[in-house]
Copies of this chain bind each other. A is one copy, B any other.
Amino acid sequence: MRLADLSKRSGVSTATIKYYLREGLLPPGRQVNATTAEYDEGHLRRLRLVRALIQVGKVPVATAREVLGHVDDESLGRTIRLGAALWALPQDAEPDEADPAVAAARTEVGRLLELLGWETAREMAPLSPVHRSLVVAVAALRRLDYPWDAELMAPYGALMMEVARRELDFMETHASDAEQVEMAVASAVLFQPVLRALHRLAQEEESARRYGIE
């Protein structure tokens, strides 16, 4: 398809598409003559992922370029490509190692991964920014005197594993191999607001059931 069709089908203006091309977020089309290039379904899919990252995920352009670089790196296996892409997404604040709540949180997160039997997460822990985010979040709860330990977290971990399994099942049935890493990255960005909203709605609903509305 031509640039104008790519714009129409994606809902992204031609000016924005040209900007993404210049920034290397979208691979160039196949040049058919000096002034015209041809784009395919892969471009359309990539354009939607770029919009998800930048418009919904508020990811800076340079970060989006790095994330997409990992998605496209076919020298890596699927898990590593996905992991590298997810790790390149903007992360929460780094833990303050001088804070005793951080040390306690790190111990509990370590015990949690052991309880859950998440072997890869344990091995990756020293490198993983996601692991560090969890330590920071648990430390914040513990500073507020929530007795937030491995036993208390384990059922939530099991529920989130159930969510992750459903997501991967969905991807396996709805996406080709080549598309699955793209889809996993888009869903890491787009799915989080769905879960957050469902969680808050569930809190209100269950509160109304237990305590009534008056």
The chain A residues found within 8 Å of chain B, CB to CB, are: 11, 48-49, 51-52, 56, 77-80, 82-83, 86, 92, 113, 118-121, 124, 128, 130-131, 133-134, 136-138, 140-141, 143-147, 152-153, 155-157, 159-168, 170, 174, 184, 186-188, 190-214
Contacts and interface: CB of A to CB of B under 8 A. Distances in A.
10 contacts: A79-B204, A79-B211, A113-B201, A118-B201, A133-B200, A147-B174, A159-B163, A160-B201, A164-B203, A188-B200
Given A86-B200, A195-B156, A205 B161 contact: yes
A191 B138 CA distance: 8
A162 to B, nearest CB: 6
A89 to B, nearest CB: 9
Contacts of A133: 193, 196-197, 200
A143 to B, nearest CB: 7
B195 A130 contact: no
Contact of A196 (B146, B192, B207, B208): B192
Given A79-B207, A204-B82, A208-B120, A141 B198 contact: no
Contact of A207 (B130, B168, B191): B168
B160 A190 contact: no
Contact of A140 (B56, B161, B167, B196): B56
